[in-house]
Structure formats: structure tokens, C-alpha cells
Structure 1
Amino acid sequence: MQEILSFLRDYPYIPATVLAAFGWWWVHRLNSTRDRINAERQLRNTELAKVYSTLLRIGIYGTLTKTDDDGKVIWVNEELEDAVGKIYLYGTKHQVDLTQTYVKSWADINSANGTELLNNIREHIRSSLGLPPVQGTPHYLRIEINRGKKSDA
């Protein structure tokens, strides 16, 4: 023990250096953890926002098809399938449960009410961003533009 005290007396900068190195390592570890959590939150919010957009669009259409400017029917079922997969990957347990109900409804009656799921995703994202909740279900807008044939323009 006497040798250690003698060594520290002869080299007083060593404990400070060790403490500074440990402090640097600890702060680096905390920053790395914070950065990872923030990156995960950002990725989750980005992907859930895409899911929200897809579910919202399908709810507005009321069907799995839409019509383009040329009158061609476009199926959006793959977008819905991808959205469901993203909820299973990034969603909370409650969102996964709501998605199970939503998917079962599509399988049983070829239609589904996604309002509760949509509201839950919206509130999850708003909460994560530090925004206050939206009271009730918002009213969405659907505008159909009647376009003539391209030759009429």
C-alpha cells in the first residue's frame, strides 16, 4: 500500500488522466446510446408516417383501387400489404393488435374500418414529436378533379 501511495505522490497526474479518460469514455457511451435511440425514433416515425399516409389514402378511396388521369384503374393493395408489414415491424403492441383486427376484417368482408388504427398511429407520432393530441377524429378531404381527354386540352 505504501508503494501505491508513493507512486501516486511521485506521479500525481495519473489519477486525473485516468479519471478524465473514464469520463470521456462514459460521456461517449451515453451520447452513442442517445444517438441510437434518436435514430430509431426518427426511423420509426418516418416509417409510421408512410403507413399513416397509405392507410389514410385507402380510407379516403374506400377501396383498394384508384383511377389515374387516363382512367386506368390502379391497385394499391401492395401499398397496404407493405404498410401492414411496417406496422408489424415498427408499431407498438397496441398498433399490432389493431392491425390484426384490420387485416382480419379485410380477409372476412373484403373491407375494413381503419379509423382506430389510423388515430393511434397519428397520436403515437404526435406524442413522439412532443405535440399535443388531436381531439376526436379529424375530417379529411377528398377532391376529385374531372379532367377531359388529353386531346381536349
Structure 2
Amino acid sequence: EAVVHEISRQLRNWNVYTHQNGIITTSQGGFDFDISGRQTIRAPDIAFISKNIYRSLDRQQQWTFKGQPYFASVDLGWLVDPKNKQIYIYRRRVSGVVYRTSHGWNNVNGGSILPGFTLEVQKIDDTISQESSESSSENDEIISSHARRW
């Protein structure tokens, strides 16, 4: 959860700093995709919707995250796996075919989809490190609270 928060923070800061004025959602919102004629709900941990796409949605789509505009407009996806230190990049070709590339554990540039945005993996590592040390401190406190004085 802390990793999702950190990625969301980086994306939110970029959104504000560059005046993108897009919408950032977390897994609390789902997207209704029509895949092979079947309804499929997806809830990515984090999503960025450009203001142009968001403005094209009707009121129901804005509130329910339902509608084809999302599926047609997904051109870039990242799967960030901090445990295995791996990032996978998903892109849509002009033909509509989605392909995946392995990026290692390196900063990721948003390219033309997220101009000027770079996901900084060191900040994710720092978040994990901080969460780890806080968890360790909490355990120390719990253990010491059960210790008896001799």
C-alpha cells in the first residue's frame, strides 16, 4: 500500500506541476472494459485519465467509470513489482496490439503519454525501506512491552 501511495504521490505532483489537470484514481474505482464482447471490470492500483478523455465522458461514466473511452484510450501501462525489482511496460501499437517489455528496476519515463513524468524507483525503495524500519520498530516496541523486569 505504501508503494501505491508513493507512485500516486509522484504522479499527482507531476499532474499539478505540469498543469495536466488530469484525474488520478486508485483501486477504489474500476474500469468497465468490453473484452471480446464480455464485460470485464479492472481496478488498477493507480490510473491517470487525461483531462481531454475525462471531459469526453458523460456524467454516469464520470461517476461509475463505465464506458468504452477508457479501453480505447489505454496506450501505456506499467506493472511495478518492487519485491522482484522489476517494471514491465505495456504499450499499444498503432494496430491495436498490446505488447510488453521488461524494464528492470530503473526510472521509467512517461514519454509522449505522460510528458515530463519520470517514475523514480529510488523513491519507491526509500518508501519500502522506511516502511520496513517502522515495522521493525513497532515489533521492537511490542516485544519490549512484554518483557519483565528481573
The TM-score, its normalising length taken from structure 2, stands at 0.22
Structure having the higher Rg: 1
Higher RCO by CA contacts (8 Å cutoff, separation 6 or greater): 1
Quick check: which one's strand share is greater? 2
